[in-house]
Chain A
Amino acid sequence: MAEIVIRNLRKEFGDFVAVKDSSFTVGDGEFFMLLGPSGCGKTTTLRMIAGLELPTSGQILIDGEDVSQKPASQRDIAFVFQMFALYPHLNVRRNISYPLVSQGLPRAQIQAKVAEVARILGIESILDKPVGGLSGGDRQRVALGRAIVRSPKAFMMDEPLGALDAEFREHMSEELRALHDRMGATTVYVTHDQLEAMQMGDKIVVMNHGVVEQFGTPQEIYDHPATMFVADFIGSPPMNFLRFEGGFRPGDRSVSLGGTAFATPELLEEAGGRKLALGVRPEHVVISDEGQYRGRIEAVEYLGTTQIVTLTTPHGTLKARTPSDRAARVGDSVGLGFTASTLALFDAGSGRAFRTAANAGVFHG
C-alpha cells in the first residue's frame, strides 16, 4: 500500500536523455499504466521507481519519503519481469517461499503465507510440482506468487504479458486485474499496447521520447488527447487528422476547411494563419448520401457488427467506423459529417491540442 509521487524525474545515459523532467502521481491502490512506444523511457521510469536505476535528477516519493537515491532493497517494491525467472531446480512451493526464507521468517509463518498466496492465485494443486513442466500461464502465476508473497508496498510490472500469445494474454490480463481488485496493492505496469492500457488501467501516463505527453484516466485520454501523438497512439483505428490552414478566435464554435464550416466545441484560444489539424475519432464520422463535404470510399473492412470505411477527402485520408448493415461500396462518393462535441483541434506544427470548452477540464497544466 503506497502512494508514489514522481517529481521532475530525469535520467541520462551518457549523451542520451532517456527520461526528461517527468512528473505524475500514482495513487494508493491504483493500477497505473506507463504507456508508449519502444524507447520512450517507460521502462527506465519503472526501473527508477524500483531502484534498479538511480535518477540523474528529480525525486521519487513513496508514501511521502524520498527514496530516489536509496537502493532497491530498501524500497520494499516487488518487480515482475516479462521473462519470468524461476529457479528451475526448485518446486513451486520453494520458488514462492524463497523471498521469505531469505528474509529469515519462521517456518510456520512462511507456510501460512505461501498457502494464502497459492489460494489467491488458484495454484494450490501444483505447489509440489517442479516448475520445469508447467504451462506458460502457471509459470507466470508462480512468478506473480513470488512477488506477492512478500506483501510489498507496490508492484512494478514490465510487460509481464508480452511473451504470451494473443488469446492467452487476454485471459491473463483479466486475471491480473481481478487479482489487483482483490489485493488492492499499488501497481505500476509498463506496456506498449494501448488496448491493454485502456482495459486494465485506472490511470495512464503516455510517454514519448522521454517526455510525459499526457496523464489521466483512460476515457479522458481517449476523448481529449493533449497532443497529436497521444491522439494517434490511442484507439484502433486511431484519431483522424484533417490538415488545413486557417485560424480561429476565442468564442468561435466552428472552423472552416476549404470553404466548408464544421461545428466544433467552443474554442478558448486564438490561432491565425497556421497549419492546423482537425481531429476526429472514426466512430464520430457520419456518412450520408447528402452533404457538401465529400469523400471517396477507398476500402471497406468488415468487423462483424461494425465496419471500417477508409475514405479520401480533400484534406487527407479518413477512417470511419459505421454499422456493418449500412452499405458502403468502394469507389462511391459520399457526404461526410462529424459529431461536433467530440472534435479536437491541434497545432499541426507542435502537435499540441488547443483548449476548447470540451477539453478545458481535463488538461493538467
Chain B
Amino acid sequence: MAEVVLDGLSKAFGKTQALQGVSMTIPDGAFVVLLGPTGAGKTTTLRLISGLEAPDAGDVRIDGASVLADMPAQRDVAMVFQQYSLYPHLTVRENLAFPLRSPILNWPEPQIAARVQDVAEVLRIAHKLDNRATKLSGGEMQRVSIGRALVRSPRIFLMDEPLSSLDAKLRAEMRVELKRIHTDLGATFLYVTHDQIEAMTMASHVGVLDQGRLVQFGSPREIYETPVSTYVATRLGQPRINLLPAALFEGAPKGAVQIGLRPEHIRQGEGQNAIVRRVEHLGDQTRLHLTLAGHDLITLTDAHSPLSSGDTLAIRPEKPLWFDASGLRVL
C-alpha cells in the first residue's frame, strides 16, 4: 500500500499528445477514479505508472521514490483489465495461485494455499475455488481476475474499465462489491472509466481528464457541485447540466456568458414561462423537456406530474453556475 505521485507527466504518440503535464497525488488508501471520454489520456496514465510505457517528461514516484528506472515487474503494481484474461484450462484456485508461483517469489505451497483462501473469502468466491474458470458467470470471472491482482498485495491497483463488459445489473452489484473490497483491504486504487456513475459512486477522489490534461481533481461532491468549467460540469449528472445564454436570466455576474443549471436545480411555479415540449415518465421521477425563449432545457419533476406537452410552466434558476466565454467558471 502506497502513495503514488505523478509529477508533470507528458507522453506523445507520434503527433498525438496523449498526456500533457499531468500532476496529481494519489493518497495512500485512496480510491481515485480518472474520468474522461475516449482519447482523454486515461489508459496512457495507467500504462505510464505500470511501466508499460515510458513518459517523455515528468516523474512517477511510489512511496517517495522514482520508479522510472524500474521494470514493470519491479514496480510492484497490479493491473486489472476490461477483458478478464483467465487461464481457461485451470481452476479458480490455480488461476489465483498462478502469480504466487512466480520463481521470483519462491513461496512455499502452504503459504500460497493460505493466501488464495484469504483472497477468495474477500471476493466471496471461496465456494467456487475448484470450478474451472470458464464455468463461472461474468461477474465471478471478473472477481477472479481482480483476485489474481489481489493475491500479490501490490502497492497500487491499476484498473482499466474492469466493469465495462458486464451487463447493467451485474455492474451495479460489482460497484458496491469493489468499494467493499477496497475498504476491507485498505488498498490504493487508481481506476479508469468513462462511466460517470462508477466515478461518482466509488471514488474518494475523481480526476477529470480533457485531451491529456488534468482539469480538476477532488471529491465526487466537489466535482459535481463546484465544477471549474463547462467541460467538467457536463461530465457528471444524468440528465446533463443545461447550458444556456447567461442573458436569459437575471443576476449574471460580470464576465458570465453561460449559465449552467442542473435539471434538479430549476425551481418550478415562479419566474419565466417555458413551454413543455415532451414529458417522460421514468417511474421514480418525470423528465420535462422545456423550451424557454427558443432554448431547450430539461428539468425533473414529481413522478405523477399532471403536466403534458404544450403546457406552460414558470421556472426560475436555483443554485446556478456561471461560466465565461472560454467555458471557465465565474464566481
Contacts and interface: CB of A to CB of B under 8 A. Distances in A.
Interface residues of A, number: 31
Interface residues of B, number: 28
Given A299-B179, A302-B220, A303-B197, A199 B280 contact: yes
B64 interface: no
A217 B179 CA distance: 37
Interface string A277-312: 000011100000000000000110111110010100
Nearest to A217: B281
Interface stretch (B88-96, B140-148, B168-176): B168-176
Interface stretch (A17-25, A230-238, A257-265): A230-238
Given A301-B201, A302-B221, A303-B197, A237 B172 contact: yes
B307 to A, nearest CB: 13
A333 B68 CA distance: 47
Interface in B155-174: 168, 172
Contacts of A177: 278
Contact of B284 (A178, A199, A283, A304): A283
Given A219-B304, A236-B168, A237-B172, A304 B200 contact: yes
Given A177-B278, A301-B201, A305-B264, A282 B284 contact: yes
Given A177-B278, A219-B281, A281-B284, A304 B168 contact: no
A330 B183 CA distance: 11
Contact of B278 (A181, A237, A305): A181
B283 A234 contact: yes
B145 to A, nearest CB: 22
A239 to B, nearest CB: 10
Interface in B279-327: 280-284, 287, 303-304
B237 interface: yes
Contacts of A236: 168, 172
A304 B224 contact: yes
Contacts of A308: 201
A38 B314 CA distance: 43
Given A181-B278, A236-B172, A299-B176, A304 B283 contact: no
Given A299-B179, A304-B237, A219 B283 contact: yes
A198 B281 contact: yes
Contacts of A281: 283-284
A132 B135 CA distance: 41
Contacts of B237: 304
A301 B176 contact: yes
Interface in A56-90: none
A353 B31 CA distance: 42
Interface of B: 168, 172, 175-176, 179-180, 183, 195, 197, 200-202, 220-221, 224, 236-237, 262, 264, 278, 280-284, 287, 303-304
Interface of A: 166, 177-178, 181, 195, 198-199, 217-219, 222-223, 234-237, 281-283, 298-299, 301-305, 308, 310, 321, 324, 330
Given A218-B283, A283-B284, 9 more contacts: A198-B280, A219-B281, A219-B283, A298-B176, A299-B176, A302-B200, A302-B220, A303-B197, A324-B221
